[in-house]
């Protein structure tokens, strides 16, 4: 198995393929279940990749750049660096859930009895990513480095929204586990959550326990991280193991000429309408205009509003989903009236490990943006402040179980 050279997209992909390229297989191949919120649960392995040094690189560019061309250059540096990592994850059968800022989250959805095999696959993928892309030297003198976290177990997939706009969230103890593993990792390290460690083939890994019942680090302190940290030696044949894992991954590419089967979809107007709900209107406009995919990435000066809801004393996942649904509908309506867009919704942190104890799901973050292409206004900061006050008042009066 080899990643090969970068694949060049045909000049004009079908519209469904252009939309699917921006979304995970989890959405592309799902069967809509009707009214929101939708809730589904599956077993899987999560990979989180955090790029460090990018904020410092942005600061250097902002101090020295003299034109928009310089900022475009920064966009392309990050886009191509992330693209290499994305391509590697796809070659190992991963599904890119999202890239938020400088963090990439990927998922391998499998059956419970397949988890240990897939953890081995994802660990090998992580080690190769660190070896190939773990340190990226830029001409500006600011290195980009990677911190990688893995977790495994039960993951809940939630879709909230309405007929115009929808959002995917992944929720659960093991989503929190990958976030914790990422935070505990230092640059060029790979950290496994405790549950991931319990589920894997432990004899294959050289590890150091970081915190009892929390996480382990792949590799010993005495030498740099490399592929030797997985004891892939006779009688273990990784190519044979990889072929075995392909049987667990129904959407793995069928041709070496393309990275995802989602890009080979036949025209389907119903699917197109479903996919469009998950993409911001500023991106849809570029796609509808036929702009090349490489020009979709850009840096802009924008105004952001972060709404953080602390969810407490909630006992059931479904009730939690309805709270997020109610908040999402109001926030998106208010933000759009003010000329902005609700960009993303994601969960963060936890305290408890009890099953169905949603006090473990400590908070939900709504990222809203003013000033995206087509929405730029001279008074966007005032609109953002006015929207924020309206959102705060609504949540205070109507969502009694949140802070």
Q: Give the confidence band of 65 by pLDDT, cuts at 50, 70, 90.
A: low
Output the six-digit token pair for 67: 């034109």
CA dist., res. 384 & res. 387, Å (int): 5
Report whether 84 contacts 131 (CB < 8 A). Answer: no
> HEC string of 316-374?
CHHHHHHHHHHHHHHHHHHHHHCCEEEEEEEEECCCCCCCCCHHHCCEEEEEEEECCCC
Q: Give the confidence band of 312 by pLDDT, cuts at 50, 70, 90.
A: low
Query: Within 10 Å of residue 76's Cβ, how many Cβ atoms?
Result: 15
pLDDT at 329 over 90: yes
- Mark 123-147 as b/e (b = at least 16 C-beta within 10 Å): bbbbbbbbeebbebebeeebebbbb
All structural domains of the chain, each given as residue ranges with its CATH number in brackets, are: 15-269 (3.30.70.1230), 300-400 (3.30.70.1230)
Instruction: Give the residue among 61, 95, 63 at the shortest CA–CA distance from 75.
Output: 61
CA dist., res. 346 & res. 366, Å (int): 7
Peptide bond between residue 24 and the one before it cis (omega within 30 degrees of 0): no
Q: What is the pTM of this model?
A: 0.86
For 354-399, the pLDDT digits (tens) are: 443 434 446 889 999 999 888 888 889 999 999 999 999 999 999 8
- Mark 329-347 as b/e (b = at least 16 C-beta within 10 Å): bbbbbbbbebbbbbbbbbb
CA dist list (Å): 43 to 32, 101, 221, 315, 340: 19, 26, 32, 21, 36
């Amino acid at each position: 198995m080899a990643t090969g050279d970068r694949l060049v997209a045909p000049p004009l992909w079908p519209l469904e393929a252009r939309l699917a390229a921006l979304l995970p297989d989890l959405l592309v191949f799902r069967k809509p279940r009707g009214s929101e919120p939708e809730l589904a649960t599956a077993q899987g392995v999560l990979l989180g990749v955090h790029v460090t040094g990018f904020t410092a690189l942005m600061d250097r560019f902002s101090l020295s750049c003299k034109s928009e061309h310089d900022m475009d250059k920064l966009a392309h540096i990050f886009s191509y660096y992330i693209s290499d990592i994305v391509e590697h994850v796809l070659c190992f059968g991963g599904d890119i859930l999202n890239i938020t800022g400088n963090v990439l989250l990927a998922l391998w959805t499998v059956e419970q009895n397949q988890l240990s095999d897939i953890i081995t696959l994802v660990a090998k993928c992580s080690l190769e990513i660190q070896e190939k892309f773990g340190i990226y030297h830029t001409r500006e003198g600011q290195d980009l480095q990677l911190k990688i976290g893995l977790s495994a177990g039960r993951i809940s997939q939630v879709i909230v929204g309405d007929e115009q706009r929808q959002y995917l969230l992944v929720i659960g103890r093991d989503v929190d586990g990958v976030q914790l593993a990422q935070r505990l990792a230092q640059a060029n390290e790979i950290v496994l959550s405790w549950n991931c460690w319990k589920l894997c083939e432990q004899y294959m890994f050289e590890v150091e326990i970081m915190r009892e019942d929390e996480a382990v680090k792949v590799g010993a302190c005495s030498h740099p991280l490399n592929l030797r940290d997985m004891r892939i030696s006779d009688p273990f044949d990784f190519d044979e193991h990889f072929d075995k894992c392909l049987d667990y991954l129904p959407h793995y590419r069928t041709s070496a000429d393309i990275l995802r089967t989602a890009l080979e979809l036949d025209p389907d107007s119903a699917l197109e309408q479903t996919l469009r709900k998950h993409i911001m209107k500023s991106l849809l406009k570029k796609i509808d205009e036929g702009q090349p995919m490489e020009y979709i990435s850009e840096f802009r000066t924008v105004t952001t509003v972060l709404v953080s809801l602390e969810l407490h004393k909630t006992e059931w996942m479904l009730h939690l989903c309805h709270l997020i649904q109610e908040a999402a509908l109001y926030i998106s309506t208010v933000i759009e009236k003010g000329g902005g867009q609700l960009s993303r919704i994601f969960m963060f942190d936890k305290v408890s490990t009890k099953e169905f104890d949603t006090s473990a799901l400590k908070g939900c973050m709504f990222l809203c943006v003013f000033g995206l292409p087509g929405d730029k206004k001279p008074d966007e900061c005032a609109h953002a402040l006015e929207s924020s006050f309206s959102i705060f008042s609504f949540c205070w009066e109507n969502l009694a179980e949140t802070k």
